[in-house]
A and B are shown apart, each in its own frame.
Chain A
Amino acid sequence: MLNRILRLSVERRFLMLFLILVLVGVGVWSFQRLPIDAVPDITNVQVQINTEAPGYSPLEAEQRITFPVETALYGLPKLSYTRSLSRYGLSQVTVVFEEGTDIYFARNLINERLGAIKSTLPPGLEPEMGPIATGLGEIFMYTVEARPGATGPDGHPLDATALREIQDWIIKPQLAQVPGVIEINTIGGYDKQYHVTPSPQKLLQFGISLDELIHGLRANNGNRGAGYIERNGQQLLLRSPGQLATIGEIEQAVIANRAGAPVTVGDLAEVAIGRELRTGAATRDGAETVLGTAMMLVGENSRAVAQAIADRLEAIKPSLPDGIKVEAVYDRTALVDKAIATVEKNLLEGALLVILVLFLLLGNLRAALITAAVIPLSMLATITGMVQTSVSANLMSLGALDFGLIVDGAVIIVENCIRRLSQAQHAGPLALKERLQLVYEATNEVIRPSLFGVAIITVVYLPIFSLTGVEGKMFHPMAATVVMALLAAMALSLTVVPAAVAVFLRGKISEKESPVISGAKSLYRPALLVAMKLRWLVLGGATALVAVCLWLATTLGSEFIPQLDEGDIALHALRIPGTGLEQAIDMQSQLEERLKAFPEVDKVFAKIGTPEVATDPMPPSVADNFVILKPRDQWPNPDKTKDELVAEMAEAVEMLPGNKYEFTQPIEMRFNELISGVRADLGIKVFGDDLGQLLASANDVLDVVESIEGAADARVEQVTGLPMLSVHPKRMALSRYGLTVDDLQDLVAAGVGGENAGLIYEGDRRFQLVVRLPEDIRRDVDSLADLPVALPDGGYVPLSEVAELELAPAPNQISRENGKRRVVVTANVRDRDLGGFVEEAQARIADDVDLPAGYWLNYGGTFEQLQSASQRLAIVVPVTLAIILALLVMALGTFKDALIIFTGVPLALTGGVLSLWLRDMPLSISAGVGFIALSGVAVLNGLVMIAFIRDLWHEQGDLMKAIVDGALIRLRPVLMTALVASLGFVPMALNTGTGAEVQRPLATVVIGGIISSTLLTLFVLPVLYWLLHRARASA
């Protein structure tokens, strides 16, 4: 089979070269479809169902909305689990599906179920699904501000309400139409409302209740169409316009008639533009602002979409009223561009280095170019593969590509062809047929080992595919890309490379050995001979080195997932539950002013509380801060690391009273919000019904966990702390005055919360007409007891007469999982093995904590992932090693030789460990990928070397001579593959740009490992081969 393909490639060489054009065409076409982002998407398949319930307390939201919605979702196909959150005014159910579920399919299923339960929800409440976006979705943010001194059309300064109106009705509708944008989410400012604020005294005066006022307004605010009339052949349409349009008209609306005199709204109430009861606010550089966030549709190209939004925003600017400043504050394009620049730079420099090395060592420019041509071609093929398997291009997926590794197979083939061609040309130029035959033979000689080598490298990546969850999502693309590139290179070296060699390497092939190689050979021969003499010393040294490095590896620190530096800083500012929005804004201003004082900081902005679309339902006590940094060259000290800057900031803001902080990065923050698992080592979830009992049980569990050795940061999730003023109706008193509970609740709800009495239209814009009590009355908690409640007969009674007011802390949120309330106890484990800790915790809790019937526990946390990952890897890694061994046995036909080559792996790893140690880097999955690549290179070199020595031995019969000659002949390809592979990684190892943190460990490991692996191939392998085969040789 292989022979046939090779023969075909050589004979139909022009056809093969033509295929290159096809490959280039497909590759370029695919490249335009390649989704490009900075980091891989680690969000699970989830759908958020948000229901806004104005005025609902957490308890009511849970009882009336969350529970029916959750129940409706039971038994959905491919459902993984549900979790929910009930907060003031909001119910959010997050439905997580199994990996790989089509998001549109999932949303369809949910839509169907939601349709069925609509009638069971309180009237007027509509569950809505969140935008079809992932954690990478927030790609663009902008603020809408007024320039100092800017005034609106009415001459008043532009306030937060006016800015919000501009955002809602001018900017948002245009941006929402940009292709790839699924949602424009607004936070900050006030939704403009027309407020009718009746004075209780005047209502009493005229004997009009709040309810009558609301009904009166509704009855005075409509347009009606009345069909048409035909007159003299002409059709006349009829309509009766009665909509209220201005404040003056609202004031004139007649509510009742008292003794023949009309009572108008103006007689009872003030009418003005008012502010909504908002759930969130935005600030920038210490002042309130309006912040828009563009969410990208899942699977779109974030760079292209962000760019399109920025362009559209520019186009909108001229149409804005004077004095309005719209500015992009976060643009994903910048990060993606930086990431791509990093990758581009690495790949380009690597490729150039590879070509240089090839030219120097082969001494033949054409041969070097043929080999180097494999680089762009396999890249194009990889891109095609990525598009087909929907792997996006990002720092992770492109980060591990090393063209040195990729061209290894081609290097070996081209090298051998050149050697054979130049040898054959001693007798003068070859005829075409002879040349073709020679190319075929030369290729065939090395194709098997190099194919096996590539196959082995590919197999080595298998353990990566066994990772699941977040780690899997991070590293699958990386492994997939490398494997695709390797496979593409393999296919190319089987077809295009021999064809190109056959076509282009004609005429005189210079045999002049480059001085580098001849110099190396003159050093290598005596060194090899010495090594063969001191074989036991060499073996002992190698074994000792492996042992030392194994020990060294255990002393290196470790990190599971690398932190991708996004270039910007995000921080959560956390305040105590129950903190009001205005208070939070005050505290936020101080925080932002402090952060802005850093000379490295360009912009600071924050979202406080929940935005219009509750994609991230935070209470007003939590703020997401974004700190956008200036380009490094504008820093006072451009060499300051980001960690140092973050540490300085943490110290500075720690001084501000009342805030607690968590530093993170914008995309990372969003991922955490969406994945939202237990982030501690151990999470113990207590499930049950009664919140008080849940909290008591959780505290019992906490006591036990705290007393276990090794427990750190143990705490119970905060569930209470929202101060609540309850108005308990006195039923007897109500009935005495002829009132119902409903009347009372309507009054409190409408009076304090406000009641919607219709819409006011201004062109397309529509604003709510709200009736509620004047601010000074509804804000005054102390005199709420004196609020007059209108009686059916026209009199009044104070609220305290018919209701009891009670101020008490209440749950600030109710969390549920899989349809049951839960409270989580979390703990980290220090200085102790996690598994043992968890076992002891489970045993102790089972003994000491007495849970009532209907309450149960569930253990989770990162320990679960670690356990499952180690269990999987414990199977996958040995299996992988066995497969490699089997491949080697297949290639060589003997188990002994396969084992000899296999020894190359630990020796290659020693160099990697040493270089990590020298550069003071921790073990990480990135470094692990480096080790994987390294094992492949080691095996590949060993394979080629041993195969050649063996052939020589069989030809000549003298083992010692075969080993020395073979090793010398293979010196050039071994050095070449080693040099291209390591030099290809040098730019990555030295890089400090965006994304370097992923690539640096990988490159460091490979470069260090290649050095040790080359030494191994050149000295230890021949020694081992001699030791294991001399018996047979002498026999």
Chain B
Amino acid sequence: MQLMQQLSLVLVATCLASSPLHAAEEQPDEAQVEAKGPHGGILLQQDDVAVELQIFEQGVPPEYRAWVTRDGRPLTDGIDLGVDLSRLGGQVDSFEFAYQGDYWLGAGVVTEPHSFDVEVTLAIDDKRYRWRWESHEGRTSISPEIARRAGIATAEAGPNTIERSLTTYGKLTTDPQQIARVRARFPGVATQVNVNLGDRVERGDVLAQVESNESLQTYALRAPIDGVVIERHISRGEMAGKEPLFKLADLTTLWAEFKIFPGQRAEVAAGQKVRLRAEGIDREGTIHHLLPAPGNAPYTLARAELDNADGLLTPGLLVAGDLVVETVEAPLAVDNRALQSFRDWTVVFIQVGDIYEIRPLELGRSDGEMTEVLSGLNPGDRYVVENSYLIKADIEKSGASHDH
């Protein structure tokens, strides 16, 4: 029977061939740091002293909490505990700890990202303890040569002008004072008509001669404004009655009436610049005033006067207008191409040497190209503008998987 067992052992061992596993790789250096304390923080131990350090961020901005024990007994005073965080770019955040009843609390907020080299120092009586380790997140390293080939380009963060605009559409019209309808003052026969459709006239020019039916006197009809004859309803020998004989329009300036909808209304005000686009013609103007729309329509009309000396624009034309609703001199702004989402944050990636790291930003106003930075970045920081997605992809790639 022993033979049977031997044989079955060998055969089972052969046919079954247990799973191809390899020995786990241990990293003894960090083992001491990775140990978890009873509060879920990092446990630092040396001799009989133990420090548990935790970044607490539930319901409060991230802060350091620490528990210090000697021989298993908590120490509540008489110690000097400090944490120094060296961040990428040379910034060092130092935290002094004070006892808060339950734990030692570090003074100040541990700002994001939580990526730094940590140094913890502890002084009890005359004895000094020191622990150091690296705690990096959102960081990657790319050699300059590869970065160049991958098209990664950086820029220095600095002030910039941000022009925020919104796009609306509207029609070109003329102002009432630019239109003149000329009638015969006294009904009569037109004895002479001097102008034709499209003729340009100046104020005071004689448009026609009319012989009054009552006085049989001939009098001149003169142009009340400078303009172009756009309508003519009289010919020589015809009777001029009460209806207008000519319509003159002054088209050297036109008005654009943009529709401003309730959601946009608060941002629009008189005096704002507007860039007008119409069939390849670009003009600039200024919002002159705002008027309620006729007929209780749910929008407001923003009116801007436009120069049309060349006569390219015509009333009735639909135009698009980019209203510059705000111009800000932002002390710190970043290129929109640099912005990427990372976890719940919008971030840029700063570059120090070969190292790139996230900087979660609080952003302010933005136009199509630049965005104001309220906090999270220092002026002079070099940040990735072009191909910033590559940095994001490189940092997050450990999570990329091929799931079918």
Distance between A952 CB and nearest chain B CB, rounded to angstroms: 26
Q: Which residues, 323 to 358 on B, are CB-close (under 8 Å) to A?
A: 341
What 0/1 readout, one digit per residue, does chain A (822-858) give for beta carbons within 8 Å of chain B? 0000001111001000000000000000000000000
| Smallest CB gap from B367: residue in A | A782
What 0/1 readout, one digit per residue, does chain A (900-929) give for beta carbons within 8 Å of chain B? 001101100100010000000011110110
Chain B residue numbers with a CB within 8 Å of A576 are 392-393, 396-397, 399-400
Q: Provide the bound-state CA to CA distance between A574 and B400, in Å.
A: 6
Given the known interface contacts A800-B263, A906-B7, the answer about A718 and B399 at a Cβ–Cβ threshold of 8 Å is: yes
| Contact A873 B12, beta carbon cutoff 8 Å | yes
Is B166 interfacial (CB-CB < 8 Å)? yes
Q: Provide the bound-state CA to CA distance between A761 and B366, in Å.
A: 46
Determine, out of A4-12, A325-333, A554-562, the stretch whose residues face the partner at the interface. Answer: A554-562
Distance between B231 CB and nearest chain A CB, rounded to angstroms: 17
CB within 8 A of A560: which of B4, B19, B399?
B19
Is B3 interfacial (CB-CB < 8 Å)? yes
| Contact A881 B150, beta carbon cutoff 8 Å | no
Given the known interface contacts A662-B402, A878-B8, the answer about A590 and B167 at a Cβ–Cβ threshold of 8 Å is: no
What 0/1 readout, one digit per residue, does chain B (243-282) give for beta carbons within 8 Å of chain A? 0000000000000000101111000000000000110000
Distance between B197 CB and nearest chain A CB, rounded to angstroms: 19
Chain A residue numbers with a CB within 8 Å of B167 are 783, 786, 798
| Smallest CB gap from A576: residue in B | B396
| Contact A931 B14, beta carbon cutoff 8 Å | yes
Chain A residue numbers with a CB within 8 Å of B103 are none
CB within 8 A of B17: which of A587, A659, A923?
A923
Distance between A832 CB and nearest chain B CB, rounded to angstroms: 9
Given the known interface contacts A657-B146, A928-B11, the answer about A797 and B17 at a Cβ–Cβ threshold of 8 Å is: no
Interface of B is mostly: mixed
CB within 8 A of B11: which of A463, A579, A681, A899?
A463
Q: Provide the bound-state CA to CA distance between A623 and B374, in Å.
A: 39
Chain A residue numbers with a CB within 8 Å of B298 are 736-737
| Contact B403 A717, beta carbon cutoff 8 Å | yes
Q: Which residues, 378 to 393 on B, are CB-close (under 8 Å) to A?
A: 387, 389-393
Chain A residue numbers with a CB within 8 Å of B368 are 780, 782-783
| Contact B11 A877, beta carbon cutoff 8 Å | yes
| Contact B14 A862, beta carbon cutoff 8 Å | no
Chain A residue numbers with a CB within 8 Å of B149 are 590
Number of CB contacts from chain A to chain B under 8 A: 200
| Contact A681 B19, beta carbon cutoff 8 Å | yes
Is A656 interfacial (CB-CB < 8 Å)? yes
Is A413 interfacial (CB-CB < 8 Å)? no
Given the known interface contacts A560-B20, A830-B22, A902-B3, the answer about A655 and B143 at a Cβ–Cβ threshold of 8 Å is: yes
Chain B residue numbers with a CB within 8 Å of A736 are 298
Q: Which residues, 1 to 40 on B, are CB-close (under 8 Å) to A?
A: 3-4, 6-24
Chain B residue numbers with a CB within 8 Å of A658 are 389-394, 397
Is A76 interfacial (CB-CB < 8 Å)? no
Q: Provide the bound-state CA to CA distance between A830 and B20, in Å.
A: 10
| Contact B403 A813, beta carbon cutoff 8 Å | yes
Is B142 interfacial (CB-CB < 8 Å)? yes
Is A577 interfacial (CB-CB < 8 Å)? yes
Distance between B196 CB and nearest chain A CB, rounded to angstroms: 24
What 0/1 readout, one digit per residue, does chain A (646-683) give for beta carbons within 8 Å of chain B? 00000000011111101000000000010010000100
Is A583 interfacial (CB-CB < 8 Å)? yes
CB within 8 A of A657: which of B7, B22, B150?
B150
Known: A553-B10, A657-B142, A905-B7. 20 other contacts (CB 8 A): A204-B169, A463-B15, A550-B9, A554-B13, A558-B18, A574-B400, A576-B392, A657-B146, A658-B394, A673-B404, A712-B24, A786-B166, A798-B264, A829-B21, A834-B19, A862-B19, A877-B7, A877-B15, A928-B14, A928-B17
**Chain A residues at the B interface, C-beta cutoff of 8 Å:** 85, 200-202, 204-205, 463-464, 467, 546, 550, 553-554, 557-560, 572, 574-577, 579, 583, 586-587, 590, 616-618, 621-622, 655-660, 662, 673, 676, 681, 712, 715, 717-718, 723, 736-737, 780, 782-783, 786, 788, 795-798, 800-801, 809, 813, 815, 828-831, 834, 862-863, 866, 869-870, 873-874, 877-878, 881, 899, 902-903, 905-906, 909, 913, 922-925, 927-928, 931-932, 935
**Chain B residues at the A interface, C-beta cutoff of 8 Å:** 3-4, 6-24, 140, 142-143, 146-147, 149-152, 166-169, 259, 261-264, 277-278, 297-298, 317-320, 341, 366, 368, 387, 389-394, 396-404
Cβ-closest 6 pairs across A and B: A658-B393, A928-B14, A558-B17, A786-B167, A657-B394, A205-B318
